[in-house]
Amino acid sequence: MSFKLKELDNATENVLCPICKHKALNWSEEQYIQPCEHTAFIALDLGFEYVADFFEDEMQFSVDEIHDQSLNVFDAITTAHCNLTIYKMPLGVANYNRYVGFVM
Ligand SMILES: [Zn+2]
C-alpha cells in the first residue's frame, strides 16, 4: 500500500476528486457527502462517514470492528492495500481531523 497525504487548512473547503473533479465533499449541499466512484472513504478520527465497499474489503478490519473496538481510524485507512491520495483537513473541533481518500 502507499498513499499521498495532502493537507488542507480549511475545515469547510470543498474537496474535489483528483480524477473526475467531482466535489466529494461539497459544503453548499445539505447532504455534503457526495462520493464519486473514486472515493474510497470520508472519515473522521472518530469514525467513518462514508466507506466504499471495495475499500472496506482492503482494510484489515471492517468499519464495525473499527468503531466497536475504537481502533485508530488513520492507521486503518493507511494500512489498507490500496494506492490512495488522502486529503487531511481540520474538523474544527479539538484536534480532530477529517480524511477524504481517493483510490488512484
Ligand atoms: Zn472521482
Spatial separation of the C-alpha atoms in residues 91 and 74, rounded to whole Å: 14
Could you report the per-residue pLDDT of 90-103, keeping only the tens digit for each? 998 889 999 999 99
Spatial separation of the C-alpha atoms in residues 38 and 51, rounded to whole Å: 11
- Ligand 1 is a single-atom ion; what residues have CB below 5 A from it? 17, 19-20, 22, 36, 38
> Residue 64: what pLDDT?
97
Q: Give residue 26 CA to ligand 1 midpoint distance, Å.
A: 13
Residue 5, strand partner residues: 86
> Residue 1: what pLDDT?
65
Q: Give residue 103 CA to ligand 1 midpoint distance, Å.
A: 9
Could you report the per-residue pLDDT of 51-90, keeping only the tens digit for each? 999 999 999 999 999 999 999 999 999 999 999 999 999 9
* Contact assessment for residue 44 and residue 91, using Cβ atoms and an 8 Å cutoff: yes
The candidate with the shortest Cα–Cα distance to 49, out of 97, 104, 9, 1, is: 97
Average pLDDT of the residues in 34-56: 97
Does the model's pTM come out above 0.85? yes
Residue 50 has pLDDT above 90, yes or no: yes
Q: Give residue 69 CA to ligand 1 midpoint distance, Å.
A: 31
Q: Give residue 13 CA to ligand 1 midpoint distance, Å.
A: 17
Measured at the CA of 18, the angle between CA 45 and CA 85, to 5 degrees, comes to 40
Q: Give residue 40 CA to ligand 1 midpoint distance, Å.
A: 10
